[in-house]
Structure 1
Amino acid sequence: MSLDPPTYLASLQSNIRQRPIPWDGAVRAGTLTEEQYSKIRAVDKAKKPDQRKQIVQGDLDGYRLLFVGASGKPSVIESAGQHANVIQYILVLLSDLLDDVPSLARALFTNPDPYQHFLPLLRSSNNEDPIPLLTAHALASLMAAARDESRPTHQALPVILSYLAGLAKSTDAGLQDIAVQEYSSLLFGRLSRDQFWNQRSETVSPLVKILQTAAGIGNGGNSSSSLWSGNASTRSGGFEGSLGGGVGLQLLYHVLLVIWQMSFEAESIGDELDDEYDIIILYTQLLRLSPKEKTTRLILSTLYNLLEKNQKSLLPTAVLARLPSVLENLASRHLTDPDLLEDLEALKEMLDEYTKTKTTFDEYVAEVQSGHLRWSPPHRNAVFWAENARRILDFENGAIARKLAAIMQQPWDNDKQVLAIACNDVGCLVKEVPERRYQLEKVGLKRRVMELMQSEDENVRWESLRALGGWLKYSFDQ
């Protein structure tokens, strides 16, 4: 998918193309050879793209040697050494030629390691140095054009991703957008997507923070608790130029594009993506706010990929996130994009098929297994507990009690109501099935309830007191 280059990068490249370089002096000083200069001059900015293409295609091996060298034949990157103006020009020229002459990329890979002399250029102690940025762009263009998955690419990819991750963590939206667009060009195959996921603390996490900011979760905090608790922004449409936290629509679109590309690995990463980033509730909120069909299309397609490949684990989460009602609201809008409409209908059918067979008990189990509790109807429904408490304790040999214990062991600093809800549920289980108190004690629930009586949160203290009161009542009754 072709994207317009980021403004800052395009401007930088344009300035370097126009910058005069004393080539004759560079040849005399031994910065580059006469042969190298001849090849550079043959395809300089004065030449039209068609002319460039014809020249390079007619001498692919010569241009391979120019850029990546060979044994006993140093590349221009090696020859130029510390001459920054020449290095910058060569990096821009390489990117231009890779765009104009796709066959050049494959030719460069006849060298055993075409990255060897480029990777060191990614390291610079000067944040204003444009060379690492130009290098990352050239190497991303090289990988994307060649669709290469060789051993050298496997080794170079982590280094390039780490550099781009630094840009993605920047507070400069322009640098963030450069990183995200380079990511997009790199995620063409399984190898690059696997490596991107393996480095997710560097690569995925900053992108999720951008999406969280757009969804109205503080300043891109590391939790989606405000979404589950209903405290995030719920406006029905985004602003024309940006969403929550000032995230521009262009940056939002490009981040969504990268996550969509990653969603083609949904079968292997879908569960972890939701476990670690609450991606289903986050995307449901983004769907509410999405101001353009092109962003809505990417959100829907990503959701479909994730849910279709992980129906057992993620469809319950989608229902808890109220995705079905959001899809109903979306269907009432005047939408025209055929791909969007197709994904919308497919998602509705998938969720309808799932929900029509599910009971309140199934919904409760799904909520506990999601790891994030909210005040959904079952928690305060006395009839629900009377009918289902024993069934809950029996479910999968006590799995729900163990999951409640795991949930309660977390501090939930950003969403204390989760602890209050868990205490409520423990109290209901004790009330309805007092003879099974030992099962709850065995997994540590009584001890944790007693600890929470010292909580700073008033609601947590109250619910823990109620739960422990039931425990003591039945203890005294025996």
Structure 2
Amino acid sequence: MDQAELTTEQVLKRDIPWETYMTTKLITGTCLQLLRRYDKRSESYRAQLLEDDGPAYARIFVNILRDIFKEETVEYVVALVDEMLTANPKRARLFHDESLANEDTYEPFLRLLWKGNWFIQEKCCRILTLIVSARPKKSDSSKRGFTTIDDVLKGLVEWLCAQLRKPSHPTRGIPTAINCLSTLLKEPLVRSTFVREDGVKLLVPLISPASTQQSIQLLYETCLCIWLLSYYEPAIEYLATSRALPRLIDVVKCSTKEKVVRVVILTFRNLLPKGTFGAQMVDLGLPQIVQSLKSQAWSDEDLLEALNELEEGLRDNIKRLSSFDKYKQEVLLGQLDWSPMHKDPIFWRENITHFEENDFQILRVLVTILDTSSDARALAVACYDLSQFIQYHPAGRVILSDLKAKDRVMKLLNHDNAEVTKNALLCSQRLFLGAKYASFLQA
């Protein structure tokens, strides 16, 4: 059978020749006795054995993986350890018992992470993640000749990044890597190594609205990784230049899963005061999304608290924005109204060059509003703003002609709303006749 498709249940049905291993002195007589008591027993019986003599079994499993290289036996033992830790993750502490002070408990799993088949790799990754996370706070990472915790964490991160770049298994490689990362990124060394390995950019494409149970779990754990990275400055610098923020906003708009919404909102709360994230969030319409989310019935108190804090932070951010930032927010949200800046000559003179930013992004949005909006007020204001651009920008007519604004404006000359037709007429006159002559006619 293809090892990539092996299941733990299939592997644990095997009969391993423990007696032969004792005869060839690969295991001791005591080890054989303990294995006979444990192997093929019920979960409740094994649980009692681990309660009574857990460190001894941890030593046995490590020693077998260190000394025996037969693939079927290695698969069997990593399946035993994985089953033991899955049933109770706290058992990972057994591998840090004082009685194992002279055992290199990390080395066999770390070696097999790179040299084993997929079944072995997947199990060793999960086992190492749990064992590392369960280590005492003041663990000795400098035992001479032993694998240090730094070695383990760096090796794990390198393997996880390799899986995200080119998975060993087509469907389980990436989910396994993300699952382990969502635990390991609590470690400062893992964060720094992950960023150095260029791992952040490997996460961003995985931030996407999900529908199936499996894809929702992957999305949640990916967002959990981003949240953990939002506490680490070098990672924040990368997130600021990636597509992470708009992707997270798409997720929070589309997701109904509370745990996904919660971790994304907590990430936004962390990022809000950093760099230009606040302005980006306003540009992307996050204040309106937060208002919508607050109106929904959430049971998680942390989520409700985070939404309130985020709303307040965004409100403060908007207050600090310049007049052009406010104008830009209004345009990008498509919520145009006759706020004072539209008819303020000083605003247009001081900010006219800002309209050239991002390949005339604001002008393109205004032209799109003429095509798509059904709001008469928004249409009237958009026409007026385009006419103002012609008046104050030396190449205004040429730029708007290149953006195909003429046809859109002309269509609005027959609009039912008088305010729309009035401003469409002004804009069309400036498009065809030039700003000064059009102003003269209007006068």
Q: TM-score range by the shorter chain?
A: 0.5 to 0.7
- For residues 212 and 253 of structure 1, do their structure 2 counterparts lie closer, same or farther at Cα, with a shift above 3 Å needed? closer
Q: CA deviation at 1:320?
A: 0.4
Is the contact between residue 385 and residue 432 of structure 1 (CA under 8 Å) also seen in structure 2?
no
Alignment of 1:195-206 (within 5 A): 195-201=193-199, 204-206=200-202
Supply the distance in 2 between the matched residues of 1:102 and 1:124 (Cα, whole angstroms): 23
Aligned residue among 74, 80, 103 for 1:87: 74
Is 2:262 the counterpart of 1:297?
Answer: yes
CA deviations over 1:236-293 (Å, ceiling 9, x no partner):
xxx5x36xxxx7222222222222222333x4532421212332x2211111101222
CA deviations over 1:388-438 (Å, ceiling 9, x no partner):
5664599xxxxx79x95xx66xxxxxxxx859869x9xxx9998487xx9x
Q: CA deviation at 1:24?
A: 0.9
Q: Which residue of 2 aligns with 1:106?
A: 96
Q: Which residue of 2 aligns with 1:251?
A: 218
Q: Which runs of 5+ in 2 are unaligned?
A: 143-147, 368-387, 406-433, 435-443
Aligned residue among 65, 77, 80 for 1:77: 65
Q: Which residue of 2 aligns with 1:18?
A: 13
SS in 2 for 1:264: coil
Is 2:324 the counterpart of 1:361?
Answer: yes
Q: Which residue of 1 aligns with 2:181?
A: 183
Q: CA deviation at 1:316?
A: 0.4
Q: Which residue of 2 aligns with 1:285?
A: 250
Q: Which residue of 1 aligns with 2:131?
A: 142
Q: Which residue of 2 aligns with 1:269?
A: 235
Is 2:374 the counterpart of 1:387?
Answer: no
CA deviations over 1:7-37 (Å, ceiling 9, x no partner):
x999833333332111112222444343443
Supply the distance in 1 between the matched residues of 2:6 and 2:392 (Cα, whole angstroms): 69
Q: Which residue of 2 aligns with 1:465?
A: none
Aligned residue among 197, 201, 208 for 2:204: 208
Identity of aligned residues (%): 23
Q: Which residue of 2 aligns with 1:118?
A: 109
Supply the distance in 2 between the matched residues of 1:29 and 1:112 (Cα, whole angstroms): 22
Supply the distance in 2 between the matched residues of 1:343 and 1:354 (Cα, whole angstroms): 16
CA deviations over 1:314-372 (Å, ceiling 9, x no partner):
110000010001111112222222111111111111111221343432347899xxxxx
Q: Which residue of 2 aligns with 1:346?
A: 309
SS in 1 for 2:256: coil
Q: Which residue of 2 aligns with 1:445?
A: none
Q: Matched residue pairs, number?
A: 372
Supply the distance in 1 between the matched residues of 2:183 and 2:136 (Cα, whole angstroms): 10
Supply the distance in 1 between the matched residues of 2:352 and 2:333 (Cα, whole angstroms): 20
Supply the distance in 2 between the matched residues of 1:384 and 1:172 (Cα, whole angstroms): 58
Alignment of 1:156-167 (within 5 A): 156-167=152-163
Is 2:283 the counterpart of 1:320?
Answer: yes
CA deviations over 1:93-140 (Å, ceiling 9, x no partner):
3445553534323238845854334333223486xx422222212211
SS in 2 for 1:118: helix
- For residues 9 and 32 of structure 1, do their structure 2 counterparts lie closer, same or farther at Cα, with a shift above 3 Å needed? same
| TM-score calculated relative to the size of structure 1 | 0.63
The root-mean-square deviation of aligned C-alpha atoms, in Å, is 4.7
Is the contact between residue 95 and residue 131 of structure 2 (CA under 8 Å) also seen in structure 1?
yes
Supply the distance in 2 between the matched residues of 1:48 and 1:67 (Cα, whole angstroms): 14
Supply the distance in 2 between the matched residues of 1:421 and 1:361 (Cα, whole angstroms): 16
Q: Which runs of 5+ in 1 are unaligned?
A: 1-7, 69-74, 215-238, 368-372, 395-399, 409-416, 438-448, 461-472, 474-478
Q: Which residue of 2 aligns with 1:234?
A: none
| TM-score calculated relative to the size of structure 2 | 0.67
Q: Which residue of 2 aligns with 1:72?
A: none
Q: Which residue of 2 aligns with 1:32?
A: 27
- For residues 388 and 112 of structure 1, do their structure 2 counterparts lie closer, same or farther at Cα, with a shift above 3 Å needed? farther
Is the contact between residue 248 and residue 264 of structure 2 (CA under 8 Å) also seen in structure 1?
yes
Supply the distance in 2 between the matched residues of 1:110 and 1:393 (Cα, whole angstroms): 71
Supply the distance in 1 between the matched residues of 2:10 and 2:314 (Cα, whole angstroms): 52
Return the letter of the residue paired with 1:163: W
Supply the distance in 1 between the matched residues of 2:308 and 2:334 (Cα, whole angstroms): 30
Higher mean Cα deviation, 20-29 or 101-110? 101-110
Q: Which residue of 2 aligns with 1:444?
A: none
